[in-house]
Amino acid sequence: KRDPKFSELTQEHVDFFKKTLSDESAVIDGLSKDATDDIEPFNRDWMKKFRGRTKIVLKPKNAEEVSKILKYCNDNMLAVVPQGGNSGLVGGSVPVFDEVVINLTRMNKIRGFDDVSGILVADAGVIMEVADNYLKEHGHVYPLDLGAKGSAQIGGNVAANAGGLRFLRYGSLHGNVLGLEVVLPDGTIVDDLSKLRKNNTGYDLKQLFIGAEGTIGIITGVSLQTPQRAKAVNVAYFGLESYEKVQKAFKEAKMRLGEILSAFELMDAESQKFVHNKTQMKRPLEGEYPFYCLVETSGSNGEHDNEKLEAFLEHVMGEEIVTDGVVAQDDTQIAELWSWREGITEAIGHNGGTYKYDLSIPIKDLYQLVEDTRERLNSKNLIGDNKTALGVVGFGHMGDANLHLNIPVRQYDKEVEEALEPWVYEWIQKRNGSISAEHGLGIVKKKYIGYSKSPVMIELMKQIKQLYDPKGIMMPYKYI
Ligand code: FAD
Ligand code: 2HG
Ligand code: ZN
């Protein structure tokens, strides 16, 4: 239910925003004219699962404008949703009711780059791919990669603490973000755009905003440590007969590829079937296997890397850990092989709906959940031809013990949902896993946080929220 403590948007509010923001196009105004079509993309999430009904979208140009907007919203009890590229997968980036959308798209400037330290400072609205192309020219690489890189923004990455495909190599944004510029709900601008690798001068407050999903402030600038871009990249795609063998291959990859290993991704047969059906691409391998892995190496010396890769391949094929495999010969083939992994979300996303679970699980049990889920839906007669569920798909960031369990359905359905929830979360709790490895809580996971966090921790989180956002205007109805 909409919380009546929040004001409804009036013409007076709209006039204030128009006066405050630098130009006309910075306000999409659905109050004084019919702007339904213009506003629709900002009300709808990527999965087309959630739809808000905001009457206004604001696109500030700088931190000062964000500050004026937030102060006004706070003073006037207008609820707010910060929005980046709107590619989030937990319904966080769109309003639930009529919250004001503050979209960061126009904050899209690179503020500076130091090619000795590799530190990038940029507006929060810079798109990941734009940042990566910029860094490429300077011999560096954006430390994060994910399927939505063409729309997701740096600020959205930080707010969601996104993980992605390079996490195994370059680690978490909790380590790579060196500083943030943030606007608090009352309009205070916190300038903590530090460019220091080391800085032990009290509480590291910026960490609170990394993964806060816009609940305690709006990130307007980011200072980020970026690694040197690898000169040599190799990608191999394998077929394997069992999950036991996948684990062995991962161990061997760490041992034999060591510091050049940059991704180890898992795809099951079902996931590759969906990609194949959607794209009709020729499969990379002749036969079909229950499991596939994508292994990427990135290093500074092609010859050394090839030697290591060859030795690794020889070993895993010789020991029959891997049954068949292919190594990309050029950049086009690298992109093709990656598309069998990166294209899964898109390929399964358009059948009506998908129940998505983004889970951290001790690695030995990781695939058991997919099998248990299949068995459960089968026993309830909910899966198969003419049934609601079209399959149970398992894939993910094997190197980080992060499984993506997806159940594509013809339409969202109470019976399927009740078979899955809270059963999946109970399964995870029993193994001390996490119900959200990288996508966050948003609206989807809000009521399940107790499966991964203790009552004491939830209480501490509520205290932080109360301290930073005492009026509760940021992201009501979500997170905690
Ligand atoms: P949005 O979706 O716009 O927002 C995400 C959350 O952050 C919302 O709660 C929003 O309110 C808040 N927010 C956005 N910008 C700001 C800001 N400047 N200040 C404060 N709060 C803000 N995620 C992964 O972790 N790993 C993956 O591998 C991955 N792959 C994906 C693949 C596909 C095809 C898709 C569609 C999504 C994928 N995602 C993945 C999820 C998503 O892309 C990431 O979470 C991304 O970081 C979101 O960025 P965004 O700019 O789109 O943010
Ligand atoms: C990925 O790793 C993303 O491809 C999306 O995190 C996962 O669709 C999903 O569940
Ligand atoms: Zn992922």
The answer to whether 148 touches 166, Cβ cutoff 8 Å, is no
Distance 439 CA to ligand 3 centre (A): 8
Residue with tokens 């391998």: 285
Tokens of 90: 């937990």
Q: Which amino acid is at 266?
A: L
Determine the pLDDT at residue 348. 94
The answer to whether 108 touches 37, Cβ cutoff 8 Å, is no
Beta strands in 14-64 (DSSP E): 27-29, 56-58
Q: What is the pLDDT of residues 339-379, one digit of tens each?
A: 999 999 999 987 889 999 999 999 999 999 999 999 999 99
345 lines ligand 2 (CB under 6 A): yes
Range 203-216 burial, b when 16+ CB lie within 10 A, else e? eeebebbbbbbbbb
Beta strands in 381-438 (DSSP E): 393-397, 402-409
Domain at 232-344: CATH code: 3.30.70.2190
Q: What contacts 206, CB < 8 A, 6 or more positions away?
A: 177, 179, 180, 182, 192, 194
341 lines ligand 2 (CB under 6 A): no
User: Which atom of ligand 1 lies nearest, measured to the CA of 475?
Assistant: 11
214 lines ligand 1 (CB under 6 A): yes
Rounded distance between C-alpha atoms, residue 462 and residue 464, angstroms? 5
399 lines ligand 1 (CB under 6 A): no
Q: Domain extents for the chain?
A: 11-106, 110-225, 232-344, 349-439
87 lines ligand 2 (CB under 6 A): no
Within this chain, domains 232-344 and 349-439 share the same CATH topology: yes
CA-nearest of 201, 174, 179 to 190 is 179
Determine the pLDDT at residue 36. 86
Distance 104 CA to ligand 1 centre (A): 12
* Three-state SS letters, 445-471: CHHHHHHCCCHHHHHHHHHHHHHHCCC
**Inter-residue long-range contacts of 227-231, CB under 8 Å, 24+ positions, other chains counted:** 227/118, 227/140, 227/141, 227/143, 227/170, 228/118, 228/139, 228/140, 228/141, 228/300, 229/135, 229/136, 229/139, 229/140, 229/141, 230/141, 230/262, 230/298, 230/299, 230/300, 231/299, 231/300, 231/301, 231/302
What are the C-alpha distances in Å from 42 to residues 22, 113, 152, 238? 20, 31, 14, 40
Level-2 CATH architecture, domain 349-439: 2-Layer Sandwich (3.30)
Cis peptide leading into 422, omega within 30 of 0?
Answer: yes
Q: Which ligand is nearest to the CA of 349?
A: 2
Distance of CA 109 to the CA centre of its chain: 22
58, 80, 83, best to mutate for ligand 1 pocket (most atoms within 8 Å of CB): 83
CA-nearest of 102, 164, 157, 167 to 127 is 157
59, 65, 87, 127, best to mutate for ligand 1 pocket (most atoms within 8 Å of CB): 87
Determine the pLDDT at residue 22. 82
Domain at 110-225: CATH code: 3.30.465.10
Tokens of 122: 């940029």
Q: Count Cβ atoms below 10 Å from residue 154 Cβ, excluding itself.
A: 31
Rounded distance between C-alpha atoms, residue 102 and residue 58, angstroms? 5
Q: Which ligand is nearest to the CA of 360?
A: 3
89 lines ligand 1 (CB under 6 A): yes
Q: What is the pLDDT of residues 235-274, one digit of tens each?
A: 999 999 999 999 999 999 999 999 999 999 999 999 999 9
Tokens of 38: 């213009």
User: Which atom of ligand 2 lies nearest, measured to the CA of 405?
Assistant: 10
Rounded distance between C-alpha atoms, residue 400 and residue 164, angstroms? 10
81 lines ligand 1 (CB under 6 A): yes
The answer to whether 284 touches 302, Cβ cutoff 8 Å, is no
Determine the pLDDT at residue 301. 93
Determine the pLDDT at residue 409. 95
Q: What contacts 198, CB < 8 A, 6 or more positions away?
A: none
Looking at domain 11-106, does it have CATH number 3.40.50.1980? Answer: no
Q: Could you give phi then psi for residue 321, rounded to 5 degrees? A: -75, -40
**CA–CA–CA angle 326, 334, 350 (5° rounding):** 100
Q: Which ligand is nearest to the CA of 344?
A: 2
The answer to whether 275 touches 340, Cβ cutoff 8 Å, is yes
Half-sphere exposure of 341 (CA within 13 A, CB side): 27
| Residue with CA nearest ligand 2 atom 9 | 345
CA-nearest of 345, 350, 330, 455 to 397 is 345
The answer to whether 296 touches 263, Cβ cutoff 8 Å, is yes
Rounded distance between C-alpha atoms, residue 107 and residue 85, angstroms? 12
**CA–CA–CA angle 158, 300, 249 (5° rounding):** 75
**CA–CA–CA angle 37, 279, 142 (5° rounding):** 70
The answer to whether 394 touches 273, Cβ cutoff 8 Å, is no
State pTM to two decimals.
0.98
CA-nearest of 322, 363, 357, 325 to 451 is 357
User: Which atom of ligand 2 lies nearest, measured to the CA of 402?
Assistant: 2
266, 340, 358, 445, best to mutate for ligand 2 pocket (most atoms within 8 Å of CB): 358
Determine the pLDDT at residue 11. 96
Q: Over its length of 480 residues, how does the chain's per-residue pLDDT go in tens digits?
A: 999 999 999 999 999 999 999 888 899 999 988 888 999 999 999 998 999 999 999 999 999 999 999 999 999 999 999 999 999 999 999 999 999 999 999 999 999 999 999 999 999 999 999 999 999 999 999 999 999 999 999 999 999 999 999 999 999 999 999 999 999 999 999 999 999 999 999 999 999 999 999 999 999 999 999 999 999 999 999 999 999 999 999 999 999 999 999 999 999 999 999 999 999 999 999 999 999 999 999 999 989 998 999 999 999 999 999 999 999 999 999 999 999 999 999 999 878 899 999 999 999 999 999 999 999 999 999 998 889 999 999 999 999 999 999 999 999 999 999 999 999 999 999 999 999 999 999 999 999 999 999 999 999 999 999 999 999 999 999 998
147 lines ligand 2 (CB under 6 A): yes
Distance 167 CA to ligand 3 centre (A): 10
